[in-house]
Structure 1
Amino acid sequence: MAKKFFCPLLLLLLLPESFSADNPTDRRLLILVDDLTIRSSHSLFFKSLESRGYSLEFRLADDPKISLQRYGHYLYDGLVIFSPSVQRFGGSLDQAAVLDFVDAGHDLILAADSSASDLIRGIASDSGVDFDEDAEAVVIDHVSYAVSETDGEHTLIAADDFIQSDVILGEKRIEAPVLFRGIGHSVNPSNTLALKVLSASPSAYSASPRAKLSSPSLTGSTIALVSVVQARNNARMLITGSLDLFTNRFLRSSVWKAGSSNKYEKSGNEQFVTEISKWVFHERGHLKAVNMTHHFVGEKTEPAVYRINDDLEYSIEIYEWSGTSWKPYVADDVQVQFYMMSPYVLKTLSTNLMGLYSTSFKVPDVYGVFQFKVEYQRLGYTSLSLSKQIPVRPYRHNEYERFIPAAFPYYGASFSTMAGFFIFTIVYLYNK
């Protein structure tokens, strides 16, 4: 009887199309849930992902067969954790595995609520976001709450303090407030990788609605309701303290913010979660740089070495992913450094509006090993870090000018000294 061999390479070839340099959008998503009923209670959010071409796989968070990778290759491009109360993941998945998944360049959506376990809090903390330490605390706002017949504790917040970034939240402004019920978190101001996307109002605070209020640890606009993190490897994370934020009920519900005369027939939740998920999964705000070139002015070939004071031209092409294709990226703040220990030349690149950025400059009067460096960071966009090394040599001995006009006095002094010595010698030898 012939033996059957399992080929791991064949498995990898049969997997759905993954993201790549040519297609950076995530495609394969693993959804971890506490209860499979979330598939129906949050179906509008999941359908919006599927309509955009995502392949979703739902698993219970404690499923013993969960694995993010097989044979050294990751099976998924993104991870969505909608299981705030899970104490321990199943299979080979744990907190370290989730963080390794992000460190490998993959993306994460993490939603918690008042039942958040230490495991979920630990993942958020290691990502630079700290939930309120009080396990019973929720965000309360007695001024900017959503008017509701069933919520007398004002834990249903109508939030409209959004980050001002078209690349993160889309070009179309979110008019209606976002409904939020859950726990707040804080972001260290010195953490440049984490950003508050949706903040609480100045009148909000974090505390237990059933306990006597003493001194809440989080108050006012310092409370973050939804935050994003973009790691140095450009992996992206969305962290929020409200699982209800994604529910069909909140997406379809009308909203009336206390003290406002405007009552919206539909909350801003659907637009908000759709647009921010596009950013998290790299449908928007992803840059790539190609064709970094340099050459002498008037030439096209790239030299192996420059000489001090040479005139050169530098160019690079930058494109932005639109979700379906690459389009030229247009900005006026892209710079190049001619760098050796420190930048000797810093030039802002001009663009032709078709993705090509270029400039020209003179090589400094210093020889050594230099680098062309582009370090580009802009809010909401993936960072670019490119460099190309090139040596710079001094003039050779036969490349200097033979007679320099500024040195004519020294030439005259030398020749006059020789002439005087010759005359002195004649006079000394032949004078009686």
Structure 2
Amino acid sequence: MRNLKLFQLSLIFFSSIPLLPILTLAFSAENPTDRRILVLLDDVSLKSSHSIFFSSLQSRGFDLDFKLADDPKLTLQRYGQYLYDGLILFAPTTERFGGSLDLAAVLSFVDSGHDVIVAADSNASDLIRNIAAECGADFDEDPSAVVIDHTSYAVSDTEGDHTLIVSDELIQSDVILGKEKIEAPILFKGIGHSLNPENNLVLKVLSASSTAYSANPNSKLSTPPSLSGSAISLVSVLQARNNARVLISGSLELFSNRLLRAGVQRAGHSKKFDKSGNERFVVEVSKWVFHERGHLKAVNVRHHKVGESDEPAIYRINDDLEYFVEIYEWSGTQWEPYVANDVQVQFYMMSPYVLKTLSTNEKGLYHTSFKVPDVYGVFQFKIEYQRLGYTSLSLSKQIPVRPFRHNEYERFITTAFPYYGASFSTMLGFFIFSIVYLYSK
């Protein structure tokens, strides 16, 4: 009776746990696109002022969970499981997150392989600046500084202070920004940042023009600006070694309905665009951040001797072998064959003894053949593939290599015939000499 009551109490307890957020996660090896995303806002009004961007995510199947950044119930994980695949921080002025969320929790979220979008503005808090700094992007130390450009600014009814700038300095990468070129320039109003030179994982996606600089628009410059020219990054991305992706923008307004719908005309140019390139830009770059594009996987790694089909447990020196691997790219909805001519395999022991570029049938299958080197030991088939914008592939498969057995050597070697002849001629000469010496008078 007592056990029955304990069983009933346990059923009541576990039935009260909200398991739905955990069970509905779609992030997996078979479907790498993020699905459930936590959106943290400074103000509820951002949900409507940035609705076009949010609607584009929802139309692509994302489940957005909107919360205020200071919500006391904020948490990214429960019972050791992450509740979200991605995080959008549209809370530039927040000095401290609510609940259990803090700087360490955000960095741990990235370290666990999840993706983040961080948007700042001229009122960016130290918290947001520190998150960006940990990802390799250093915002201007002057809290009143914004990006100004007196040449590449947007023409408007009021001349203003030229802080609404125009830029088309985009990274040349089809995988990050899509294959179709963004024709219209992009409007930007916010703060600039520089990239940490010691961090080679962070890239500029949108840069300022050579005439831009970072300063306080309401005061005269007394010293040269700390950031100027094309060294100013407006939007940057980071792909960590665990393939987690982070986008850092110095402008929250970049994602706003106002700039997404606005027409644009660069100062000094007669051509006017009815619509800025902001919407195309934020949609395409968000596809990359949330793994709708540029995600690779390798399957069916195999090798065997030429003329055979079974994978051996050991190779012999000078064996001829074949190596195969299939590589696919996620398109957002399905896996498609990945086609490239720069995938290489190493036959590795302490250092690569063989380095071969793999051939492809353009249907996902890569292959090559080579001769096992005349060195025995424990080798590895190793692929270390890193390409701009794509997730990295790191594959290794260990195989021992043995020398010839005593009965596998050739009985007679053609190149040794002169030595064979010398040996037999020596024996014949000694025999003749012995006969002559013993039986001659």
Scaled to the shorter chain, the TM-score interval is over 0.9
Do the aligned partners of 2:339 and 2:360 also contact (CA within 8 Å) in 1?
yes
Structure 1 residue 60, shift from structure 2 partner: 1.1
Q: CA RMSD in A?
A: 1.8
Between 187-196 and 30-39, report the one with greater CA deviation: 187-196
What one-letter code is carried by the residue in structure 1 that aligns with 2:113? G
Cα deviation for residue 426 of structure 1 reads 6.1
Quick check: 405-414 or 33-42, which moved more?
405-414
Deviation at 1:393, TM superposition (A): 1.0
Deviates more, 1:189-198 or 1:359-368: 189-198
2:77 counterpart of 1:73: no
Name the CA distance, whole Å, in 1 between partners of 2:129 and 2:306. Answer: 57
Contact 1:254–1:264 under 8 Å retained in 2: yes
Taking the aligned partners of 2:70 and 2:322, their CA distance within structure 1 comes to 58
1:24 paired residue number = 32
Does 1:376 pair with 2:374? no
Structure 1 unaligned runs (5+)?
A: none
CA displacement, residues 168-222 of structure 1 (integer Å, 9 cap, x when unaligned)? 1111111111110000001135532111000000000000111221210000001
Are 1:113 and 2:141 an aligned pair? no
Q: Is contact 1:8–1:71 with CA below 8 Å preserved after alignment?
A: no
Identify the residue that residue 63 of structure 1 maps to in structure 2.
71
Alignment of 1:346 onto 2:363: no
Q: Secondary structure of 1:153's match?
A: coil
Given the alignment of the two structures, is residue 319 of structure 1 paired with residue 328 of structure 2, yes or no?
yes
C-alpha displacement at 1:12, in angstroms?
A: 5.7
1:240 aligned partner: 249
Amino acid of the residue matched to residue 77 of structure 1? Answer: D
Quick one: structure 1 residues 193 and 294, their matched pair in 2 at CA, closer, same or farther if it must change by over 3 Å? same
**Which of 39, 42, 55 lines up with 1:34 in the alignment?**
42
Cα distance 1:142–1:14, how it changes in 2: closer, same or farther (>3 A)? closer
SS at match of 1:5: helix
SS at structure 2 position matched to 1:360: strand
* Corresponding residue number in structure 1 for 2:171: 163
Quick check: 1:375–1:385 contact (8 Å CA) kept in 2? Answer: yes
Q: What's the CA shift string for 1:271-310, capped at 9, x where partnerless?
A: 1101100000000111111001111111111011111111
- Alignment-derived partner of residue 330 in structure 1: 339
Deviation of 1:7 after TM superposition, in Å, equals 5.7
Summarize the Cα distance change of 1:107–1:174 in structure 2 as closer, same or farther, 3 Å threshold. Answer: same
Partner of 1:124: 132
- Ranges in structure 2 where 5+ consecutive residues have no aligned partner: none
| Whole-Å separation in 1 of the counterparts to 2:417 and 2:309 | 40
1:299-347 CA distance string (max 9 Å, x none)? 1110111111111111110101111001111111111111111111111
Matched, 1:153 2:176: no
| Residues 89-147 of structure 1: CA deviation (Å, up to 9, x unaligned) | 11111101101100100000000011111111111111111111111100000000011
Does residue 363 in structure 1 map to residue 398 in structure 2?
Answer: no
The amino acid that maps onto 2:292 is E
Among 222, 243, 262, the residue aligned to 1:253 = 262
User: Residue 53 of structure 1 aligns to a residue in which SS?
Assistant: coil
- Residue aligning to 1:284: 293
Q: What is the CA distance between 1:9 and its match in structure 2?
A: 8.6
Inter-CA distance 14–231: structure 2 relative to 1 (3 Å threshold): closer
Residue 55 of structure 2: aligned partner: 47
SS in 1 for 2:14: coil
AA matched with 1:278:
K
Find the aligned partners of 1:280 and 1:261 in 2 and give their Cα distance.
Answer: 35
Identity %: 73
2:237 counterpart SS class: strand
Aligned amino acid, residue 113 of structure 1: D
Please give the secondary structure, in 2, of the residue aligned with 1:6.
Answer: helix
Equivalence for 1:231: 240
Partner of 2:211: 203
Once residues 163 and 81 of structure 2 are traced to their aligned partners in structure 1, the CA distance between those partners, rounded to angstroms, is: 43
Local SS of the residue matching 2:13: coil
Contact 2:204 2:235 in 1 (8 A): yes
- 1:293 maps onto 2:302 in alignment: yes
Map of 2:397 onto structure 1: 388
Checking the alignment, whether the CA contact within 8 Å between 1:19 and 1:25 is kept in structure 2 is yes
2:414 paired residue number: 405
Contact 2:236 2:249 in 1 (8 A): yes
- In structure 2, C-alpha distance between the alignment counterparts of 1:178 and 1:10, rounded to whole Å: 43
- What is the TM-score normalised by the length of structure 1? 0.96
Question: Normalized against structure 2, the TM-score is what?
Answer: 0.94
- Report the alpha carbon displacement of residue 421 of structure 1 after superposing the two structures with TM: 4.6
1:106 maps to a residue whose letter is: H
**CA deviation vs aligned residue, 1:24-83 (integer Å, no higher than 9, x gap):** 000000001111111111111111111110001111111111110011110000000000
